[in-house]
Structure 1
């Protein structure tokens, strides 16, 4: 006898059509399942391949370029950011590295860029100390905008000591809040001009207690600046003259009125 066959009988055409549609639907579902399995298999292979590539030695960090700073060394910056040679460049977190300096008063901005496969550039803009403000036996380190960067019991760089500012408190990383705003504006302007004309290392101190009678001191020379008018011209002239006066000379340099002849009065 031949092999028996599974024969279905239908009572009418509608039953036959219904059965046919079910079989076609099941066939499409099966085909879709097979296609999904195939796509998943290919996707898994591609994913594993990409991971293997990213974890390969080609992505090991070899080059770390860091902006040269005065406050921190390259090693200190790398350690604080958690960036080290040999780590995986692709998986290194630039946002975490940048945020590591967000509360540092000395750092104005920080940008970390990855250059695949093995290089990271660290670009840091640093605030620089431009003067010292005496405070209860210590010194506030301020930048050219009057922002407090640090407080120390002493100072090392030859920068002007600022006298005449009235304040009772301060906060690191913020502008110094003073009672005499006009004097504060004066010192900010003068600090910027002295930075421009490279005069900071020649001036020992600046007294802005009276904004109409600003005085600066350099070794044995007292400089009378008057008010803040013509500040650019006054500071430029002061820089030119101080660089020519011998350190042993003592006297007073009058720059209060730039429309009049400049007078240096020697002290005997």
Structure 2
């Protein structure tokens, strides 16, 4: 009986000592390393995560940092790495804005997956204006839900390929009003894409031609026949 009582006392002392150690200030986060952020400064991220005040390193979880994406829509992924006792590393992957949809006197900013990153009264980056997508409402940080699906599916493929070839800042307008007769506009060059078939190949043709011809109407809708037609502006 005495041995049991002694064991219980020792166990209590060990647990109490452990708990006392955990509440020591040494476990408060002191060093915060953030990488991969372009659209948000470090201080904004710290405030959203509550790291602008003393925070115990063991109370911060991956789910906590994941929840920050609801408030910081440009963040696609955020990964937490803890280095005990007082350091955390946050690695961020941001969404890339690829186009504007005019809406209610302003502009909705989209990424290649169709997520709404922001809504501004004016354009803040050099990105194409998207025509032909009808929407009734949207939520920042959520995928856009258009009135018609077909145009939106086509648009997402266009944005993805333009991003792949770093053309999102060159193209001024994307028109998908008629998905059988898609148009891209690069300053004074009207590019007739036709339908979305072989779109990446059409973009490769465009890159080669645009180095020489920057004005007129370029018809790439029949490149499967091995030809493109360039006409002067009427």
The TM-score range, normalised by the shorter chain, is 0.7 to 0.9
Q: How does 1:11-22 map to 2 (within 5 A)?
A: none
1:61–1:85 contact (8 Å) kept in structure 2:
no
- SS of residue matched to 1:179: coil
Q: Which has the higher contact order (CA 8 A, sep 6+)?
A: 2
Q: Provide TM-score, normalisation by structure 2.
A: 0.86
Greater Rg over alpha carbons, structure: 1
Q: 1:261 and 2:230 equivalent? A: no
| 1:4-153 equivalence runs, <5 A | 32=1, 34-56=2-24, 58-84=26-52, 87-153=55-121
Q: Which residue of 2 aligns with 1:251?
A: 216
| 1:251 Cα offset (Å) | 1.3
CA distance in 2, matches of 1:166, 1:92: 41
Structure 2 CA distance for partners of 1:189 and 1:101, relative to 1, 3 Å: closer
- 1:164 matched to 2:129? The reply is no
Judge which range, 120-129 or 214-223, deviates more.
Answer: 120-129
Question: Equivalent residue for 2:170?
Answer: 202
Q: 1:150 deviation in Å?
A: 1.7
Is contact 1:90-1:117 (8 Å) kept?
Answer: no
* TM-score (normalizing by structure 1): 0.76
Contact 1:199-1:239 within 8 A present in 2 as well: no
Instruction: Return closer, same or farther for 1:92/1:237 CA change in 2, 3 Å cut-off.
Output: same
* Structure 2 residues not aligned, in runs of 5+: none
Q: What is residue 214 of structure 1 aligned with on the other side?
A: 182
Say whether the 8 Å CA contact 1:81–1:98 is kept in structure 2: no
How far apart, CA to CA, are the structure 2 residues paired with 1:205 and 1:47? 66
The CA deviation at 1:76 is 1.0
Aligned CA-pair RMSD:
2.5
